[in-house]
Amino acid sequence: MTCKEFKYLLRADLFRHRGRSGLGEFLKGFFSAFQVRYCFFFRLCAFLRGRRIALPAYLVARVVFQHCIYKYGIEIAPRTQIGPGLFIGHFGGILVSNAAKIGRNCNLSHEVTIGLSSRGERVGVPTIGDNVYIGPGAKIFGAITIGNNVAIGANAVVTHDVPDNAVVAGVPAKVISMNGSQGYILHTDYD
């Protein structure tokens, strides 16, 4: 990741949370919103990871990020591939596998798990498209693909592929409409 990409990711995440970007907005968000702090340290650790010259800075950032993981109950490893515009809606209980791939403008609600399936026909981790809303308590497991503009309902258990623009709900999750995530994904015009 380049410095320019790092700045872009920070700006996109901030814009998704605050509706604005800029240094003043970042400072306000950093000191008043745990989501902005968490996203900052997540992106900073991802940026510094693997850079030998930045090892001391990475170690300090990693310690602070580890504190954020425990304090906020959100565990997303710095090596997890997440596109710009990450939005964390609520405090706590979020767990994302470090091998998962998540696209642009993803909304993560509390008690969401995006994890590994270690047996069966879908061994692996999910790939999640752009503009995906994941409702509170949703669980997504296995080598599945979640399309673009998808809304996953509260407490849904998703273990199969989901097409673009679908709304899924239930245990196991089933497509209940094709209205997508429109209305759930806000502040995406940061480009």
Task: Report residue 56's pLDDT band, with 50, 70 and 90 as the boundaries.
Answer: confident
129-139: pLDDT as tens digits: 999 999 999 99
The three-class DSSP label of residue 152 is strand
Tell me the average pLDDT across 7-33: 92
pLDDT at 1: 83
Task: Report residue 143's pLDDT band, with 50, 70 and 90 as the boundaries.
Answer: very high
Which positions ≥6 away from 86 have C-beta within 8 Å? 12, 13, 16, 39, 42, 102, 106, 108
Contact between 35 and 18 under an 8 Å Cβ cutoff? The reply is no
Task: Report residue 91's pLDDT band, with 50, 70 and 90 as the boundaries.
Answer: confident
Contact between 117 and 141 under an 8 Å Cβ cutoff? The reply is yes
Task: Report residue 159's pLDDT band, with 50, 70 and 90 as the boundaries.
Answer: very high
Amino acid, res. 62: R
Task: Report residue 121's pLDDT band, with 50, 70 and 90 as the boundaries.
Answer: confident
Q: Which residues are catalytic?
A: 110
Q: Domains plus CATH for the chain?
A: 3-177 (2.160.10.10)
pLDDT at 118: 86
The structure tokens listed for 159 are: 């273990």
State how far the Cα of 187 lies from the Cα of 152, in Å rounded to an integer: 19
pLDDT at 64: 95
Tell me the average pLDDT across 86-102: 93
